[in-house]
Structure 1
Amino acid sequence: MGELISFDGGEKNYEGYLATASGGSGIGLIVLQEYWGLVDHIKDVCDRFAAEGFTALAPDLFFGERTTEPTRAGEMMMALNISETEQILARAVEALRILPSVNSEKVGIIGFCMGGQLAMFAACHNPTIGACVNFYGIHPHVHPSFRQLECPILGVFAETDPYAGPEVVKALDEELTLLGKTHDFETFPGTQHAFFNDARPEVFNADASSKAWNKTLTFLRQNLAG
């Protein structure tokens, strides 16, 4: 089990959930929340990564606010201060990299829904990020500068998704291909948006979630280990 921590944000401290690698040290990984906030599901994802040998930090992008109501979650997402969020992400990466429980030269970043788009955004702005995983990422106000991207991206998408649907995936794939950026996208059949979230039985898909999890672990280890 991890713990809530504070990390240096310059003029003020930020908070997050830190789960330390089961062996004491491991690959550093930033985990970015969905639009619900830093909820138990995201903490559990961090704990799962820790059990696999990663030291995972999930910064709290909503400053303690969380919800189970989609309307409120959408309001929180749309009210996100992108400039401040960029600062939080940069500081979270810095805080993670200096931990004695992190032994990788570069760190990874993974995000879900809103967090998936933010993961790509952060990867484009921070060369110390060595691998990025985007689970069905979307945010209309977050625009990654892919020309600056230096790390590979793994994209995980749902077959039925009103937010990150086939046209969104196709456009992103074409843009990254045109720019010569390394990426691997997979759309999982029979799935809906947020199919990885086992706290939401109405969309959770156990088989696809397991396959996506294993693919994510392989991708992160291949690009960050050693």
Structure 2
Amino acid sequence: MRMNLRTMLGCAAVVWLSLSGCAAKQGVEKGGAEGSSNAGSETRREELGGLTEKEFQALHELKAEAAPPRKGQMLEIAGARAYLSLPENARKPVPGVLVIHEWWGLNEHIMHWADRLAAQGYAALAVDLYGGKVATTPEEAMAIMKTVDPARSQAILKTAHQYLMTSSRVQATHTGVVGWCFGGAWSLRAGMAIPELNAVVMYYGRPVLNVDELRSIKAPVLAIFGTKDESIPNDVVEEFDEALSDAGVAHRILKYDAPHAFANPSAPGRYNAEAAEAAWEQVKGFLAENLKQ
């Protein structure tokens, strides 16, 4: 089965509009991606990595006066915004992880994920493939996603990866990538385009099914899906599993009894804390095994 790139990156096919996309509107309305206020209760960075799923969920209960505090800083990567979160008191080289946003864009939710990864000991660099735009409705997300230039996005990811390896603050010798939804598809694409990667994690992203294209992946892949995800049905997941095997790519496919976007606490009605916690434990182990060497 061969699909064009727009289809493969189509984390938000038309049916997805009826599914409310990858997160709830309220998850991106308050405290925009450039939110200037860090008011609110402070969470120590070293505690963030050990948060229970319930505590991580609470971070996404945005209040009217301010978004929860961030731990990192905004950068410019290849002319695009990026958010870098570093472990405290980490000794170089620091293992690096590229973080790729959902179809909403680089919002507070994704920055929380970068902070969560930093608390696990990784230099987490969240890229922006939307040119600074952050969607607040499924219709807006769909429109922005359709404007994404694959060549430009690939260039941003390659430059961001180089930053993790060469920055004096990171100097990563082992790197990985993680993404959700739209970002899950691009996480897989990053694995295809950046052979130096040591780990690829994709949460419910539209998979590539072409065996010849998948052969370019050198890193092991951890792919996470929900069995109730109507946009990526189980037969597609099984075909992806088979294609990865035929391509000789080391991989694990995890399936949870949950819908699309189940790992996003900003998605009421879709978020599944039990599945999210179980998947996060698997991701932590996978990244540690492949990046902390």
Stretch of structure 1 that moved more, 144-153 or 83-92: 144-153
Using the TM superposition, give the Cα deviation of residue 31 of structure 1 relative to its aligned residue in structure 2, in angstroms: 0.4
* Residue of structure 2 equivalent to 1:213: 280
* Residue of structure 1 equivalent to 2:291: 224
Alignment of 1:127 with 2:195, yes or no, is: yes
Overall identity of the aligned pairs, in %: 31
Using the TM superposition, give the Cα deviation of residue 15 of structure 1 relative to its aligned residue in structure 2, in angstroms: 1.6
Measure the CA separation in 2 of the matches of 1:74 and 1:144: 29
Alignment of 1:88 with 2:171, yes or no, is: no
Q: Which amino acid aligns with 1:5?
A: L
Using the TM superposition, give the Cα deviation of residue 97 of structure 1 relative to its aligned residue in structure 2, in angstroms: 1.4
Q: Which amino acid aligns with 1:187?
A: K
Which of 114, 126, 135 does residue 46 from structure 1 map onto? 114
After superposition, the Cα gap between the structure-2 partners of 1:67 and 1:35, relative to the gap in structure 1 and judged at 3 Å, is same
Q: Can you list the C-alpha shifts for 1:4-47, whole angstroms capped at 9, x where unaligned? A: 1113x2xxx22201100133343100000000000110000000
* Residue of structure 1 equivalent to 2:236: 168
Q: Can you list the C-alpha shifts for 1:67-117, whole angstroms capped at 9, x where unaligned? A: 120111112112211111111111111112112343541210001001111
| Conservation of the 8 A alpha-carbon contact between 1:154 and 1:219 | yes
| Conservation of the 8 A alpha-carbon contact between 2:215 and 2:248 | no
Q: Which amino acid aligns with 2:137?
A: E
Measure the CA separation in 2 of the matches of 1:84 and 1:170: 30
Q: How does 1:140-151 map to 2 (within 5 A)?
A: 145-151=213-219
Which of 95, 105, 114 does residue 27 from structure 1 map onto? 95
Measure the CA separation in 2 of the matches of 1:157 and 1:104: 29
* Residue of structure 2 equivalent to 1:62: 130
Secondary structure of the residue aligned to 1:145 is: helix
Q: Which runs of 5+ in 2 are unaligned?
A: 1-70
Q: Which amino acid aligns with 2:202?
A: N
* Residue of structure 2 equivalent to 1:4: 74
Measure the CA separation in 1 of the matches of 2:212 and 2:185: 8
| Conservation of the 8 A alpha-carbon contact between 1:136 and 1:156 | yes
**How many residues were matched structurally?**
220
| Conservation of the 8 A alpha-carbon contact between 2:99 and 2:179 | yes
User: What's the C-alpha RMSD, in Å, of the aligned pairs?
Assistant: 1.9
Secondary structure of the residue aligned to 1:148 is: coil
* Residue of structure 1 equivalent to 2:271: 204
Q: Which amino acid aligns with 1:51?
A: A
Secondary structure of the residue aligned to 1:108 is: strand
| Conservation of the 8 A alpha-carbon contact between 1:124 and 1:149 | yes
After superposition, the Cα gap between the structure-2 partners of 1:122 and 1:74, relative to the gap in structure 1 and judged at 3 Å, is same
Using the TM superposition, give the Cα deviation of residue 138 of structure 1 relative to its aligned residue in structure 2, in angstroms: 2.0
Structure number with higher strand proportion: 1
Secondary structure of the residue aligned to 2:76 is: strand
Measure the CA separation in 1 of the matches of 2:178 and 2:184: 7
After superposition, the Cα gap between the structure-2 partners of 1:71 and 1:164, relative to the gap in structure 1 and judged at 3 Å, is same
| Conservation of the 8 A alpha-carbon contact between 1:124 and 1:144 | no
Measure the CA separation in 2 of the matches of 1:188 and 1:100: 39
| Conservation of the 8 A alpha-carbon contact between 2:98 and 2:126 | yes
Q: Which amino acid aligns with 2:264?
A: N
Measure the CA separation in 2 of the matches of 1:144 and 1:214: 31
| Conservation of the 8 A alpha-carbon contact between 1:29 and 1:110 | yes
Q: Which amino acid aligns with 1:2?
A: G
Q: Which amino acid aligns with 1:15?
A: R
Using the TM superposition, give the Cα deviation of residue 147 of structure 1 relative to its aligned residue in structure 2, in angstroms: 1.3
How does the TM-score come out when normalised to structure 1?
A: 0.92
